[in-house]
Amino acid sequence: MFSALLQQLDEYLSTPFFTIELPLWGEWCLSVPASVFGSPLLMSIFSLFFAAAESSLITALLTLELFVFVLAWVHFVPQGKIRQFFQTNATLPVFIVINLLSIQFLSPKSFGASCFFVSGFSVVVAIVAILKRATKRLRPNFAVRARGYKSRKLPIGPTAIQSTKSELKKNADQHAALPSGDAASCACFVTVYLLQLSDRMESSNWTNDWNIGCAVSMVVLFLCCSGRMYWRHHHFFDVCAGSLVGFFCTMLLHYFCGGFSECGWLTTLVSALIGAGLNEFTAS
């Protein structure tokens, strides 16, 4: 009985996002936060974000890598080479090592935060994969399609990848809807950002800077979650659960690590191995 009520509530809260129709430019804009947090390669590039304010060279490297990523995205995805684009297992460690080495030498103050972010993302991905395997919840596009709503599709963006994942969905794989991995990754990102912001606050400007940082973070998380629902790849409770997983996993890791200053190569390596191991185990 309680489960049925939750299901009805979830459908009720999700339906406005499933049914609203945005103009084409709005869909393109919403496709960005709805898809960027689901790419391990892009999240490894985001490790530079936490050092960008400290070094102009890091800022230039972040801009360059993002530009290359966008070019690759635009080139591969419309041609249907989705699998080729996302086969990043070989290149992902290379990006992580190069980026962290760059941060260590060019922005030492940010090195701990960047290492912690990579570690947190690895742990979050693993926990999400385990929960997906346990819940086995279908993505909502199946139900929405059955109701007669027209499908949403852009030549690039989340539908190009996620619709394929949904079509290939099996009960035992990692393409289940609950929890949302993109929402969890986004929550991890904004949590690390706020933790870093808190560590670097000057007492005189603390309140104003903190309020701005929180507002920007919540907007980013909202756009990510609403985009996942707009493209009908997650229900309302899926993105809520993903956000909570990302937040609590990141905070627990921060507690056990003792802060950014204690986080370095060893923490990153151990977290990455655990994350990759659990991720592969659940996919088998």
Q: CA–CA separation, 86 vs 51, rounded Å?
A: 26
Domain count, the chain: 1
3-state class (DSSP) for residue 22: coil
What is the arithmetic mean of pLDDT over 181-208?
A: 81
**Of the candidate ranges 133-142, 145-154, 252-261, the one whose mean pLDDT is the lowest:** 145-154
Q: CA–CA separation, 135 vs 119, rounded Å?
A: 25
Is residue 26 domain-resident?
no
CB 234 within 8 A of CB 139: yes
Report pTM. 0.85
Higher confidence at residue 272 or residue 242? 242
- Computed from CA positions of residues 52, 55, 60, 65, in that sequence, does the dihedral angle turn out positive or negative? negative
What is the arithmetic mean of pLDDT over 233-254?
A: 92
Residue 171: predicted pLDDT: 45
Confidence at 210, pLDDT banded by 50, 70, 90: confident
Q: CA–CA separation, 135 vs 179, rounded Å?
A: 8
Is residue 8 domain-resident?
no
Is residue 157 domain-resident?
yes
Q: Which residues contact 142 (CB under 8 A, 6 or more apart)?
A: 166
Is residue 132 domain-resident?
yes
Residue 188: CA atoms inside 13 Å, Cβ hemisphere, count? 35
- Tell me the two tokens of residue 150: 């027209």
Q: CA–CA separation, 192 vs 43, rounded Å?
A: 13
Q: Say whether pLDDT at 191 is over 90.
A: yes
Is residue 5 domain-resident?
no
Higher confidence at residue 134 or residue 4? 134
Residue 81: predicted pLDDT: 57
Supply the mean pLDDT for the chain: 79
Residue 172: predicted pLDDT: 44
Taking only the tens place, the pLDDT of each residue in 19-60 is 888 888 888 888 888 888 887 878 888 889 988 888 889 999
Is residue 203 domain-resident?
yes
Which range marks the domain in which residue 80 is found? 31-283
Residues in the chain: 284
| DSSP string for 232-262 | TS--HHHHHHHHHHHHHHHHHHHHHHTSGGG
Confidence at 270, pLDDT banded by 50, 70, 90: confident
**Of the candidate ranges 37-46, 66-75, 231-240, 247-256, the one whose mean pLDDT is the lowest:** 66-75
Is residue 63 domain-resident?
yes
Is residue 206 domain-resident?
yes
Confidence at 1, pLDDT banded by 50, 70, 90: low
What is the arithmetic mean of pLDDT over 4-30?
A: 81
Taking only the tens place, the pLDDT of each residue in 75-120 is 666 555 555 555 555 677 888 888 899 999 988 888 989 999 999 9
- The number of beta carbons lying within 10 Å of the beta carbon of residue 65 is 19
∠ Cα 249 86 245 (to 5°) = 15
What is the arithmetic mean of pLDDT over 61-81?
A: 74
Residue 117: predicted pLDDT: 93
> What percentage of the chain carries pLDDT values higher than 90?
19
Q: Say whether pLDDT at 201 is over 70.
A: no
Residue 79: predicted pLDDT: 57
Higher confidence at residue 198 or residue 218? 218
Residue 153: CA atoms inside 13 Å, Cβ hemisphere, count? 10
